[in-house]
Amino acid sequence: MINLELPKKLRFSANQAHQVAAEIFRPISRKYDLAEHEYPVELDTMAAMIDGLADSGEQDVSGATSGRKSDGDSDRPDTDITGNKNGGNMSALLNSLETSWGDVGLMLCIPYQGLGNAAIAAVATDEQLERFGKVWAAMAITEPSFGSDSAAVTTTAVLDGDEWVLNGEKIFVTAGDRCTHIVVWASVDKSKGRAAIKSFVVPRDAPGLSVPRLEHKLGIKASDTAVVVLQDCRIPQENILGSPEVNVEKGFAGVMQTFDNTRPMVAAMAVGVARAALEELRGILTDAGVTISYDIPPNNQHAAAAEFLRMEADWEAAYLLALRAAWMADNKQPNSLQASMSKAKAGRTGTDVTLKAVELAGSIGYSQHSLLEKWARDSKILDIFEGTQQIQQLIVARRVLDKSSAELK
């Protein structure tokens, strides 16, 4: 049974993340929204703080070691008397939520907390985790020829002696210019289909890797979104994540494990942005004389108050779904269905809440006097990357109906 009361240890770290969001992110949020692609230098100090917390064992911000400790750690502080664990995934989810409440674009700029780090945590061996546990890793999947169909990877990796040679082009790589490493998805044998798709850790300064362009975007402008070109890019043989063996029966389940970790994190980002919008909207409605009551049926209240209550209920559902997916990951329960459910619900709720908040706030919401319009722009990407709304619904349908990807497209 899931206990929905957060443990004291996680409440403490979430409060720290909230303070960062309030004291560091919010004051510079508009500045870096207007100065697209300018690196937020204020985050360097924060990166040092996060690194210190991780080294001391006080806080596992990225969730990079979740689920990797020995099974004999039942007496750890994050394990309760029932054996339930609240580890790196839950900690990372709450920190993502709180920092996204401050600014989701800046949250994506935090050094050493890239989406590639979650990929490393999901697939890497213990030895690889030791080598790559403290790098800033972006994740490169999407190519010009495909978006949501991850099995359509055309980038190739060929073993030449003791090195892999990578060739291909990746687009929409979050933190692709600022990171220190990039987790690249590539095929080691195109004749074997999706089973041959592996992930590789490529140093940002590797020979043959270049970043020819940064994208101009609707939102999350503080975050750099890059095009990455790999032209005879050579990396050490041991930089392939996990096993180099091609298992046709297993398919590419190994690399897909990444999404079971990252989708609840993206859900948490959407939940954080939506909460910020709801809090701002409540203040605006209160100042306008609109009373929001939890004792009176919504249909007997002001129309704006009724709409607020509807959005708040949707927000609560998205929050609980995200918590469930992260809890299952920490407790080593298969969570592919719940990860997609949480991402689909939170992504839709985030865009609904932020856009409706702009609408109900009127001219104030549409202007730059408030951050509401920025949050509306930022939230849209959270319903797109890491798998679009439509893809999440397709995955949920396959899991519920017990259909394969070939049976249900």
Q: 386 catalytic, yes or no?
A: yes
Closest CA to 167 of 195, 190, 193, 149: 190
Q: How many whole angstroms separate alpha carbon 223 and alpha carbon 40?
A: 9
Closest CA to 346 of 279, 273, 405, 297: 273
Q: How many whole angstroms separate alpha carbon 330 and alpha carbon 3?
A: 14
Q: How many whole angstroms separate alpha carbon 168 and alpha carbon 257?
A: 23
**Cβ atoms of residues 104 and 220 within 8 Å:** yes
Q: How many whole angstroms separate alpha carbon 33 and alpha carbon 380?
A: 15
Bridge pairing between strands 137-140 and 181-187: parallel
88-107 vs 303-330: helix axis angle to the nearest 10?
A: 130
Q: How many whole angstroms separate alpha carbon 58 and alpha carbon 10?
A: 10
Q: How many whole angstroms separate alpha carbon 270 and alpha carbon 189?
A: 37
Closest CA to 18 of 112, 136, 109, 107: 107
**Cβ atoms of residues 121 and 65 within 8 Å:** yes
Q: How many whole angstroms separate alpha carbon 307 and alpha carbon 204?
A: 47
Place of tokens 């080691």: 188
**Cβ atoms of residues 318 and 332 within 8 Å:** no
Catalytic residue selected from 163, 312, 386, 407:
386
Q: How many whole angstroms separate alpha carbon 39 and alpha carbon 20?
A: 18
Q: How many whole angstroms separate alpha carbon 44 and alpha carbon 47?
A: 5
Q: How many whole angstroms separate alpha carbon 211 and alpha carbon 214?
A: 8
The amino acid at 215: E
Q: Which two tokens stand for residue 335?
A: 């969570």
The neighbouring-strand residues paired with 201 are 183
Residues with catalytic roles: 386
